[in-house]
Structure 1
Amino acid sequence: MHHPQLTSRTRRLTALLTALVAALLLTLATAGQAGALPPDIPDEAEARAELAALTVAPDHSMAGYSRAEFPHWITVNGCTTRQTVLIRDGENVEVTPGTCTPVAGTWFSPYDDTTWTKPSQLDIDHVVPLAEAWRSGADEWTRDVRRQFANDLTTSQLIAVSAASNRSKGDQDPADWQPPAAGFHCVYAEMWIHVKHVYELTLEQDEFDALGEMLNSC
Structure 2
Amino acid sequence: MRRGLPALALCALPLLSSAPAAHSAPTESALRPTPAGPAGVRTPLPLYEAVDRLPVAAEHREGYRRDLYKHWNRGLNPSDGCDTRKEVILSEAVETPQVAAGCKLTGGSWRSAYDAVVVTDAAWLDVDHFVPLAEVYDSEQTPWSAARREAYANDQNSPDTLIAVSAASNRSKADKDPAEWLPSDGSYHCTYAATWVGTKLRWDLAVDEAERQALLGLAEDCPATTVVYEPAP
Same fold, TM-score > 0.5, yes or no: yes
Q: Which residue, 94, 107, 111 being the options, matches 1:108?
A: 111
Structure 1 match to 2:220: 216
Tell me, yes or no, if the aligned pair for 1:75 and 1:81 is still in contact at 8 Å: yes
Q: How far apart are the structure 2 equivalents of 1:150 and 1:138?
A: 17
Q: Which residue, 173, 178, 198 being the options, matches 1:174?
A: 178
Q: How far apart are the structure 2 equivalents of 1:30 and 1:121?
A: 19
Q: How far apart are the structure 1 equivalents of 2:177 and 2:107?
A: 32
Cα 1:46–1:150, aligned 2, differ >3 Å: closer, same or farther? farther
Read off the aligned partner of 1:210 and give its amino acid letter: A
Q: Which residue, 122, 146, 164 being the options, matches 1:119?
A: 122
**136-145 vs 170-179, which moves further:** 136-145
Cα 1:100–1:49, aligned 2, differ >3 Å: closer, same or farther? farther
**Alignment root-mean-square deviation, CA:** 2.4
- Spell out, residue by residue over 1:48-96, the C-alpha distance to the aligned partner (whole angstroms, 9 max, x if none): 3321111111112x22211110000111323211111111111222233
Q: Which residue, 184, 188, 192 being the options, matches 2:188?
A: 184
Q: How far apart are the structure 1 equivalents of 2:30 and 2:153?
A: 15
Is 1:135 the counterpart of 2:138? The answer is yes
Percentage of matched positions with identical amino acids: 35
Tell me, yes or no, if the aligned pair for 1:90 and 1:105 is still in contact at 8 Å: yes
Bigger proportion of residues as helix: 1
The 3-state SS of whatever aligns with 1:128 is: coil
Q: Which has the higher contact order (CA 8 A, sep 6+)?
A: 2
Read off the aligned partner of 2:67 and give its amino acid letter: A
Structure 2 match to 1:40: 31
Instruction: Please say which structure displays the higher CA radius of gyration.
Output: 1
Tell me, yes or no, if the aligned pair for 2:74 and 2:83 is still in contact at 8 Å: yes
Structure 2 match to 1:146: 149
Is 1:199 the counterpart of 2:190? The answer is no
Read off the aligned partner of 1:128 and give its amino acid letter: V
Is 1:54 the counterpart of 2:54? The answer is yes
- Spell out, residue by residue over 1:77-132, the C-alpha distance to the aligned partner (whole angstroms, 9 max, x if none): 23211111111111222233355332221110111111010001110111100000
**How many residues are treated as equivalent by the alignment?**
186
Q: Which runs of 5+ in 2 are unaligned?
A: 8-21, 24-28, 34-42, 223-233
Structure 2 match to 1:158: 162
Q: Which runs of 5+ in 1 are unaligned?
A: 1-28
Tell me, yes or no, if the aligned pair for 1:86 and 1:102 is still in contact at 8 Å: no
Q: How far apart are the structure 2 equivalents of 1:114 and 1:197?
A: 29
Structure 1 match to 2:65: 66
**TM-score of the pair, normalised by structure 2:** 0.73
Cα 1:210–1:41, aligned 2, differ >3 Å: closer, same or farther? farther
Q: How far apart are the structure 1 equivalents of 2:66 and 2:106?
A: 27
Q: How far apart are the structure 2 equivalents of 1:206 and 1:170?
A: 18
**TM-score of the pair, normalised by structure 1:** 0.77
**46-55 vs 122-131, which moves further:** 46-55
For residues 18-37 of structure 1, what are the structure 2 equivalents within 5 Å?
A: 32=7
